[in-house]
A and B are shown apart, each in its own frame.
Chain A
Amino acid sequence: MKVRVHVSLKPGVLDPQGRAVHHALEGLGFAGIEDVRIGREIDLEVADETTDAALDEMCRKLLANMVIENYRIEKLEAA
């Protein structure tokens, strides 16, 4: 089973990298950008019987820092 974990900064946590990219996009002439936030995608290939609880635990224990980040688990279609 292919699983994609999306990790993003919690709302309200300043994202300096997002801000720099925001400035760069404006520098290229793109107007009307409200905000830029940079996250991370982690693709896992796991045994089909892996439980949702186990996936959740992986996110909480390592893949996301729950102080500053949120995560979302997406199960991808089998190739």
Chain B
Amino acid sequence: MAFRAAVITFPGSNCDRDMAVALEKVSGSAALRVWHGDSDLPSGLDFIAVPGGFSYGDYLRCGAIASRSPIMRAVVAAANRGVPVLGVCNGFQVLTEAGLLPGALMRNAQLTFTCRAAPLRVETSQSLFTAGYEAGQTISLPVAHHDGNYFADAETLARLEGEGRVAFRYLDACNGSQHDIAGILNDSGTVLGMMPHPERAIEPELGGTDGRALFESAVNALVAA
């Protein structure tokens, strides 16, 4: 069965092609490309990816304007119906601004743009995105961001931790994030937001393959379903 994934492109997205390539390499099906100004998503989607970049030039706040774009109303509606949504980097910022994930991404504590491989601990294998990893496993994924400093209030952090919704954690305190959080899940485990880039780590030629299991997990979970 074909894997029907959509990748959203905003003005300023720059990881949309990498995301589409990763999805196609792993699933064997070409990803559908969707423009921010569209108000409807293609029908029968298995998966939606909100890619990295600098949507709308990061004006106002990172991800803020993109999160209010016409297509995001359809993405929020699809997510609320249970369609899996992955947001990476700027996509993570968009998903928090859209209210699909709690908290906010602030300027990195050290104030510099951080671009390097980041060691991460996979905190849970109990999600359709992380089933292909072992909980506690150390992996390495590239990070490239200026605003990846995850903030949420104490109550939200306690809930995320208590419900096993922290998906990935930095091992090297990369940007000042509360609890070193690199990626979180929504309460049903169908929405994942993360600052590191799994789509940039799917082939040895890219410097690593640790991101591949994320896409394989999703494809296996959704095609088998």
Contacts and interface: CB of A to CB of B under 8 A. Distances in A.
Contacts, number: 37
Interface SS of chain B = loop
Interface stretch (A29-37, A48-56, A62-70, A71-79): A62-70
A16 B151 CA distance: 12
A16 B61 CA distance: 15
Interface in A1-53: 13-14, 16-17, 20
Given A14-B176, A62-B60, A62-B68, A67 B111 contact: no
Nearest to A20: B111
Interface residues of B, number: 21
Chain A's interface size range is 10 to 19
A14 B64 CA distance: 20
Nearest to B96: A67
A63 B60 CA distance: 7
A62 B97 CA distance: 9
B64 A13 contact: no
Contacts of A67: 96, 102-104, 151-153
Main SS class of interface, A:
helix
Contact of A61 (B68, B103, B110): B68
A16 B106 contact: yes
A67 B149 CA distance: 14
Contacts of B107: 16-17
Contacts of B103: 67
Contacts of B152: 67
Contacts of B65: 62
A65 B68 contact: no
Interface string B208-224: 00000000000000000
B65 to A, nearest CB: 8
Interface of B: 60-61, 64-65, 68, 96-97, 102-104, 106-111, 149, 151-153, 176
16 contacts: A13-B106, A14-B106, A14-B176, A16-B176, A20-B111, A62-B60, A62-B65, A62-B68, A63-B60, A65-B64, A65-B104, A67-B102, A67-B151, A67-B153, A68-B104, A68-B106
